[in-house]
Structure 1
Amino acid sequence: MEAFAEYLEGIDHPEHRVRMEEVLRWTAETFPNLTAKIAWNQPMFTDHGTFIIGFSTAKHHLAVAPENAGIDRFSEEIVQAGYDHTKQLVRFPWDRPLDFSLLKKMIEFNIADKADCSTFWRK
């Protein structure tokens, strides 16, 4: 969590900071082989130098970015869980519980799908 300390300190809304810290800690503990880092001013996790998942804050939601392939793969489940998404991110509203099982599936998918990926982003 050291990699994210400065980022977390910069979140003005205390409840949003607590939620983001919870999500980042959960990700680090659930996937200890991933590397935690800040890039493009947002917390993210990588595996063997390739992007796995990124997080950012917005006024009304925590944004989770599993790349377009992750969105495509889980689009139906995202909508069924009551969340909305764009091509690049899922919006988890601050005022609702976060579906950690869905987040886990997205991360596991990216780890497996990018196991042989030698670039940061999918091509």
Structure 2
Amino acid sequence: METIADFLATIEDEAKRERLVYLFDHIKTTFPTLESTIKWNQPMFIDHGTFIIAFSVSKQHMAIAPEAVTINAFSNQIQEAGYQAAKEIVRVKWKEPLDLQLIDAMIRYNIAEKKDTTSFWRK
């Protein structure tokens, strides 16, 4: 896989694929300076060569991976949205509403916090 379109083509469930298309289009529109890429078979958005957010898919949920620091910073909002958080991912069940304001806030946080970062991951 080289592009987000390649990733989306691997998702057989049309409703899941459409939900991700909606989310990715939203991110591209809201954050036009972010670069979309595929790394480790996951769609990611990066800024000036540094990781901002990634996504993955399982049968029961989509996973949002903004890094542990960001999950910790938004733990209350994640809980209020009804999502489950682990150390490195936020699980959003396929039937749960997408909280785009929360996702946008996590992206903005990472962009601001990592504006001077020169490595891919936080150190």
Q: Secondary structure at the match of 2:12?
A: coil
Question: Corresponding residue for 2:67?
Answer: 67
**1:81 CA drift (Å):** 1.2
Sequence identity, in percent?
A: 48
> What TM-score comes out, normalization by structure 1 length?
0.96
Question: Corresponding residue for 2:21?
Answer: 21
**1:119 CA drift (Å):** 0.3
Alignment of 1:62-101 (within 5 A): 62-101=62-101
CA–CA distance in structure 2, aligned partners of residues 23 and 62 of structure 1: 11
CA–CA distance in structure 1, aligned partners of residues 93 and 103 of structure 2: 14
> What TM-score comes out, normalization by structure 2 length?
0.96
CA–CA distance in structure 2, aligned partners of residues 17 and 80 of structure 1: 25
Which runs of no fewer than 5 residues in structure 2 stay unpaired?
none
What is the alpha-carbon root mean square deviation over aligned residues? 1.1
CA–CA distance in structure 2, aligned partners of residues 121 and 81 of structure 1: 26
Question: Corresponding residue for 2:5?
Answer: 5
CA–CA distance in structure 1, aligned partners of residues 29 and 37 of structure 2: 15
Q: 1:46 is matched by which residue type in structure 2? A: I
The ranges of structure 1 where at least 4 consecutive aligned residues each deviate by more than 2 angstroms after the TM superposition are none
1:106 maps onto 2:106 in alignment:
yes
CA–CA distance in structure 2, aligned partners of residues 96 and 77 of structure 1: 15
Q: 1:109 is matched by which residue type in structure 2? A: Y
Which runs of no fewer than 5 residues in structure 1 stay unpaired?
none
Aligned residue-pair number: 122
CA–CA distance in structure 2, aligned partners of residues 25 and 81 of structure 1: 21
**1:3 CA drift (Å):** 2.8
